[in-house]
Amino acid sequence: MAKVLENRSAEEMKTVFIPRTSKNDTERYVAVNGENMLIQTGKAVEVPLRFAEVIESSQRQDSAAEAFIEAFAKN
């Protein structure tokens, strides 16, 4: 049975930017608690706050992983 989405016009939105990792990387699949959406990469887009939090958390983790790798690569 299809899930009917209620009106979410009052929902808080936030602008996010997901950089492209390659020429063909045009969108990113993001899921939060059973809800999902495809978010365009390479430009700033408005998404519901819950999706923005997941994207920002992912970007922080990517940065931390890069810093960790660089710290050990210098040894």
- How many CB atoms within 10 Å of residue 47? 19
pLDDT score, position 47: 96
pLDDT score, position 74: 74
Contacts for 11 with CB less than 8 Å, ≥ 6 apart? 48, 49
pTM metric for this prediction: 0.78
**How many C-alpha atoms does 63 have within 13 Å on its Cβ side?**
6
> Tens digits of per-residue pLDDT, 17-72?
999 999 999 999 999 999 999 999 999 999 999 999 999 999 999 999 999 999 98
pLDDT score, position 6: 55
7 pLDDT band, cuts 50/70/90, is low
